[in-house]
A = this chain, B = another copy of it.
């Protein structure tokens, strides 16, 4: 074998270049050439690691999901141990909203990804799976909080899970400056405060 190269590392570096381009100019203008330029590699190099634009998107999205999970995990470590379920949910929602540069890039990647997935069966399945996974995770948190008596037992876990997830609806409002980050966070807190009103 020839030169030793960490395939994974190269692919991640390229994917991060994709993020930057998507964040700045949108998925539409994230052409192979543009991504290669942003990554500081040749077009041939890029194609050596990603045979097609679709493959690049798929990988970048996987990485985006992983990154978001990481941010949540890191935030989790900064909380009390064990953390209050409300704080966990707050963290999860906050990291899905475009409230700081990293989260904004993730949010825009996801948006582009979902929009693309609507018209591509393969992507659609992958996206659906990812979203379902995320929903399941939130639902687990909600059910756990109910079991622990932190959320009133007469709350329907399914409905409450969906309502928490719907809080990501602030994304376009934040992106276009219709609501300020503080207002969005205040609303999120208001919702969670009510959800957790009941037990000590």
In the complex, which residues 147-184 of chain A have their Cβ closer than 8 Å to any Cβ of chain B? Answer: 156, 158-159, 162-163, 165-173, 175-179, 183-184
Asked if A145 is an interface residue, CB under 8 A from chain B, the answer is no
Within residues 119 to 160 of chain A, which ones have a CB less than 8 A from any CB in chain B? 119, 124, 127-128, 131-132, 135, 156, 158-159
* Minimum distance in angstroms from A117 CB to a CB of chain B: 7
Assess whether B184 is in contact with A173, with CB atoms less than 8 Å apart. Answer: no
Partner of A178, one of B132, B167, B173: B132
Interface of A (DSSP majority class): helix
Q: In the complex, A177→B131 CA distance in Å?
A: 10
Q: How far is A117 from B173 in the complex, measured between Cα atoms in Å? A: 12
Inter-chain contact A115/B178, CB cutoff 8 Å: no
Q: Chain B residue with minimal CB distance to A113?
A: B172
CA distance A131 to B131 in the complex (A): 26
- B contact residues around A13 at 8 Å (CB): none
Q: Are B169 and A183 in contact (CB under 8 A)?
A: no
Interface-located stretch among A20-28, A32-40, A41-49, A75-83: A20-28
- Residues A115 and B186 in contact, CB atoms below 8 Å apart: no
For A84, list chain B residues within 8 Å (CB): none
- Decide if A102 is an interface residue (CB 8 Å cutoff): no
Which B residues lie within 8 Å of A87 (CB)?
A: none
Contact of A159 among B166, B178, B187 (CB under 8 A): B187
Q: Are A162 and B183 in contact (CB under 8 A)?
A: yes
In the complex, besides A111-B115, A128-B177, 18 extra interface pairs with C-beta distance below 8 angstroms are: A26-B115, A28-B116, A108-B118, A111-B111, A115-B115, A128-B176, A128-B178, A131-B176, A132-B178, A159-B187, A162-B179, A162-B183, A162-B184, A166-B168, A166-B187, A167-B169, A169-B170, A169-B171
What would 5 A/B residue contacts be, using CB atoms closer than 8 Å?
A26-B115, A111-B111, A156-B190, A162-B183, A166-B187
